[in-house]
Structure 1
Amino acid sequence: MDILLAIWTYIVENILKQPAFFIGLMVLVGYILLRKPWYDCLSGTIKAVVGYMILLVGSGGLVGNFRPVLVGLKDRFNLSATVIDPYFGQNAVTAGVEEVFGKSFSQVMVLVLIAFVANILLVRFRKITKLRAVFTTGHVQVQQASTAYWLILFALPGLATNNTAILIVMALILGLYWAVGSNMTIKPSQELTDGAGFCIAHQQMFGIALFSAIAERMGKSTRGKKSKKLEDIELPGFMSIFNENMVCTSLLMFLFFGIILVVLGKDYLVEAKFMLETDSFLFYIMKTCLNFAVYLAILQLGVRTFVTELTTAFQGISNTILPGAVPGVDCAVAYGFGSPNAVPIGFIAGAVGQFLAIGALILLKSPVLIIAGFVPVFFDNATIAVYANNKGGLRAAVILPFISGLCQVFGSALIAGWVGMAAYGGYLGMWDWAVVWPVFTVVMKYLSYAGLAIVVIALIAIPQIEYRMDKEGYFLLTDDYEAYKERKAQAKK
């Protein structure tokens, strides 16, 4: 058993937690199943790995670029609190799970394996389950398994005495969540990308589905006309410069971050070693803000590089091993579609929502104070804005990420304080884990195993309901998107 666990841990650390190599492996397997020549297999695998690495460079740059602001707000205003961030959340579980529950973090790796197998089996029997999505973002799986492990142990402490039972229960819930959540993003993703053949497997899957539905309603005015999307708006005169994504991103970030950096002041930034005494404060601000446009451009290049390879190769997997399956990928992949300007607008709207919510916690003297992490404030809200803009235009792209920001802070403060993770300095904090999983936890905590049954039944019911809402188009959406569009167009006539 120890040998098998060691092998699986090696695979998790070097493949599943390294999404570039996991994506590359899937592309290689897919091309082999499609019986492509060896040189096409090699070329496609390299492009997929390199493309995903480019995406990670862009994502990492965005996170690093935001660090002076996060650290500065914490240090200058003496804020000591729970950071909402996937990595802080994982670290909190690592630090506290043995002390609080007497459990080893190594069980989380076993949980990832069993839950992933459950996801695959649910998709393999899609005719019964109506599930079509395979969760492929391994680093996100580990982060989520960590937090789920803590939440379920808290809600059902009786499981702690039986390692086998706890892993089976957790894997069932987590495997269902991965399969159901990513499946819910298939329709909005196909409509956003015009049938690119992927869905989202990240931390805001329920959020994407919910806000896409709300945005569709918001997009219709009282006269039945849809509000304009960002890419359809042509600004007049000098404002036309905002039609350019790089210019819009740079100016918005200069306004947003410029103000924060000025408040922090040059003295602090020098003392914290973010800049040198000899550096120009003005040009430091300009460079920091312009870097956002740079890293977004890098991220979008990475998306364009690997998505085509992945979706083509996955046809081999879906035609043989998992018929009709769709790969679930990182939420940042959506940024290569729709309006690029939705990304900075969603980020800023979500950040304003988060900062207002944090201010409310301070005024209300909340026992748990939240510090905004860049990953939730950017990747959740930018993603929601991209989908909201596609369905509901500019108004939805501003309002819905703002609401998301409020939910992230208030939801995380409530759940992190209640379950005890706040004491260890971190919580995952992204939309599904600030809204959906707290609901799961409350239901299981107060209804015990009956609550567990309710959660499982609710997750199983969601794809069944989606299927019954459109029996003819449900599988056509992924099997033949062009036919799906034709059918949809005829239905509107």
Structure 2
Amino acid sequence: MFDQTVLSLFREPMFIIALFVFIGLITQRKSASQVASGTIHTLIGYTLILFGSRMIIESLSIFVAMFQNAFQLFGIVPSNESMMAILQMDYSFETTIVMFIGILANIVVARFTRFKYIFLNGYYILYMASMIAAILAINGASSFGKLISGGILLGFMLAVFPAFTQPFVRKLTGNKPIAVGFFGTIGCLLSGYMGKWLFGRQKKRDAAVVEAEQAPKRRMKSLPFFSDTNMVLTLFMMILFGGTALLTNKDVMADMSNDQNTLVFAIKYSIVFAAGFYVIISGVRMFTEQLLVSFKGISDKIVPNAIPAVDSSVLFPISPALVVIGFISSLAAGMCSAFVQAMLNMSVVIPGIMTHFFAGAASAFFGSVYGGKKGAIVGSFMQGILVSFLPIASLYIFQELHIIRTSFADSDFAIIGALLKWLL
């Protein structure tokens, strides 16, 4: 019973993060009320992020269904959650071993090497652990020793991948002791270096983020309504949802909306999306505040100079305008890619809207560091192309399981999965 409870806790990312906060506050000898307050506020903040994400997922699931019907495109729908759920049906034990060893290995690597990053994005740990475990198992390497090796590989990735992006993150956050930990690293690095190579000489790099945030506001001075990012995002989603709904088959729309007016239904879910975004921003601000305060204890006592690596959404409050730019640019790239794939008779990757929102927004920040507004647009567009074609290349990784309608969504999964399969 106790073992099952512990395993269940390790599968819930909010409790992993809250545990780190709790330990950090204890090691700083904070009062009982301060420890309780910090831990609870962390849980509340992370829960807000979950609720916001679910609101976005709900609205975008409806959009994907409308998009497929409106444009008659059917194919692969990238989804980390779907792939993880499928793999867990047969490889849950292997995933648990790889994940547990990976978390321990991350702490060891951070303690004894120069990679002082503790990866706290629990969902991505679970997604990558399930992929590594499944690849090991279906390639005849599922012994306990091989699973431990897979966990060590995961732990090394958890410590090293945030280090790759930290030079960009440091400039974005103003040298705050925080890092980004998610498995869209390769796409974000591509965006960052493209911004540097193409546009880096056009402005001082330290002013790039300010320029990217202020430029849209300057252009819209005559329209104060549009200077509010929430308003801009809501308006854009209303146009996107409403236009797609009008092109969707009337019977399909009637079934989806329970005979509600088409435009009213579309507008409602565009507002749900915008509200979800606002909730995510609020949750990020709440839980990162507690995380940074408590992580000083981890840094001083367990892993000296440790830096927490959290989800890419930690960047969103820096410039909500860049979030909108990145999402729109990446989504446009995904739609263009889908139509190109259809014309070339390739497997069509239906735009994974969640990936275009989170990875696209993150890549806009990376592109903006040296390239400003132009770097944000081009970088997130390249990210959109990357996450639209990599799922096709990664289909062969799990061909033994006959998974043909979904795949992992973010860039690192396809590349790491292909390398691991090749090595085996």
TM-score by length of 2: 0.90
Match of 2:381 among 376, 388, 402: 402
**Structure 2 unmatched runs, 5+:** none
Are 1:232 and 2:232 an aligned pair? no
Q: CA deviation at 1:373?
A: 2.7
**Structure 1 unmatched runs, 5+:** 99-103, 450-493
Are 1:388 and 2:367 an aligned pair? yes
Deviation by residue 1:145-165 (Cα, 9 ceiling, x = unmatched): 1122334556xx3534xx033
> Aligned letter for 2:66?
G
- For the 8 Å contact 1:88–1:425, the answer to whether it is kept is no
Are 1:141 and 2:129 an aligned pair? no
Are 1:300 and 2:281 an aligned pair? yes
Are 1:216 and 2:196 an aligned pair? yes
- For the 8 Å contact 2:190–2:379, the answer to whether it is kept is no
Secondary structure at the residue paired with 2:186?
helix
* Alignment correspondent of 2:231: 247
Secondary structure at the residue paired with 2:200?
coil
TM-score by length of 1: 0.78
Q: CA deviation at 1:35?
A: 0.6
Counterpart Cα distance in 2 of 1:350 and 1:373: 10
Deviation by residue 1:81-104 (Cα, 9 ceiling, x = unmatched): 332111111133235xx5xxxxx4
Counterpart Cα distance in 1 of 2:393 and 2:402: 10
- Aligned counterparts, 1:260-339, within 5 A: 260-272=244-256, 275-277=257-259, 279-337=260-318, 339=319
Counterpart Cα distance in 1 of 2:409 and 2:242: 26
Deviation by residue 1:77-125 (Cα, 9 ceiling, x = unmatched): 6655332111111133235xx5xxxxx4311111101111111110010
* Percent of residue pairs bearing the same amino acid type: 22
* Alignment correspondent of 1:58: 52
Q: CA deviation at 1:317?
A: 0.7
- For the 8 Å contact 1:92–1:425, the answer to whether it is kept is no
* Alignment correspondent of 2:168: 188
Q: CA deviation at 1:231?
A: 1.6
- The CA RMSD measured in Å over matched residues stands at 2.5
Counterpart Cα distance in 1 of 2:104 and 2:75: 37
Secondary structure at the residue paired with 1:372?
coil
- For the 8 Å contact 2:59–2:269, the answer to whether it is kept is yes
Q: CA deviation at 1:172?
A: 2.7
Match of 2:187 among 203, 207, 225: 207
Deviation by residue 1:28-51 (Cα, 9 ceiling, x = unmatched): 111111011111111111111111
- For the 8 Å contact 2:124–2:183, the answer to whether it is kept is yes
Are 1:118 and 2:112 an aligned pair? no
- For the 8 Å contact 1:92–1:427, the answer to whether it is kept is no
* Alignment correspondent of 1:32: 26
Deviation by residue 1:435-472 (Cα, 9 ceiling, x = unmatched): x325524xx52xx46xxxxxxxxxxxxxxxxxxxxxxx
> Aligned letter for 1:397?
A
Aligned residues: 419
- For the 8 Å contact 1:82–1:370, the answer to whether it is kept is yes
In structure 2, do the counterparts of structure 1 residues 262 and 238 end up closer, same or farther at CA, with 3 Å as the change threshold? farther
Match of 1:354 among 305, 317, 334: 334
- For the 8 Å contact 2:325–2:376, the answer to whether it is kept is yes
Secondary structure at the residue paired with 1:159?
coil
- For the 8 Å contact 2:69–2:248, the answer to whether it is kept is no
Q: Which has the larger radius of gyration?
A: 1
Counterpart Cα distance in 2 of 1:10 and 1:391: 47
Counterpart Cα distance in 2 of 1:229 and 1:422: 48
* Alignment correspondent of 1:44: 38
Q: CA deviation at 1:361?
A: 2.1
Are 1:411 and 2:379 an aligned pair? no
Counterpart Cα distance in 2 of 1:113 and 1:125: 19
Q: CA deviation at 1:180?
A: 0.8
Match of 1:84 among 78, 82, 85: 78
Deviation by residue 1:320-377 (Cα, 9 ceiling, x = unmatched): 011111111122222122x1011122112111111222222222222x4323333322
Secondary structure at the residue paired with 2:403?
helix
* Alignment correspondent of 2:141: 159
* Alignment correspondent of 1:23: 17
> Aligned letter for 1:52?
Y
In structure 2, do the counterparts of structure 1 residues 262 and 229 end up closer, same or farther at CA, with 3 Å as the change threshold? farther
Secondary structure at the residue paired with 1:306?
helix
> Aligned letter for 1:378?
F
- For the 8 Å contact 1:376–1:431, the answer to whether it is kept is no
